[in-house]
Amino acid sequence: MESKTRKMTSLAIASAFAASVAAVGATPAVAADDMVKCYGIAKKGENDCKAGPGTSCSGSSTVDYQGNAWKLVKKGTCTQVSTPFGPGSLTCLATRPTGQNYQCG
C-alpha cells in the first residue's frame, strides 16, 4: 500500500481536541449543524392483548396489489418533496429510470 501524507499533525489534533472540550464546557448541548429534538419521549408500547375492530375491515381483505396494478393513491405530504426524477406524483405509477441506483445518486 502506498503510504500517504498525514493530513493532520498531532499538534493540530491536540489543539482541536482541547478547543472542542473547552467549547462544550462553555456552551452545552448545541453543536453540529443543527439539531432536531423529538419530543415523543414515551412512545406507546406495542405488545397488547387487544383485538382489532371486528370481523370486516382492511385487515381481512387484500388490496388489489399485483405488480403494477396498485389501485391506491398517495394522499400524504410526499408531494412536498420534489424528487430528482420529476415532481412527486399523486397518481401515476412511474417507475424510476432503469439502471439508476438512487442510493448512490
Residue 17: alpha-carbon gap to chain centroid: 31
Q: Is 7 in the site for another protein (CB under 8 A)?
A: yes
Q: Is 1 in the site for another protein (CB under 8 A)?
A: no
Binding to another protein in span 74-93, by CB under 8 A: 74-78, 80-86, 88-89, 92-93
Q: Is 47 in the site for another protein (CB under 8 A)?
A: yes
Q: Is 60 in the site for another protein (CB under 8 A)?
A: yes
The Cα 105–Cα 103 span in angstroms is 6
Contact call for residues 64 and 93 (beta carbons, < 8 A)? no
The Cα 51–Cα 45 span in angstroms is 15
Closest approach of another protein to the CB of residue 99, in Å: 13
Binding to another protein in span 11-30, by CB under 8 A: 12-21, 23-25, 28-30
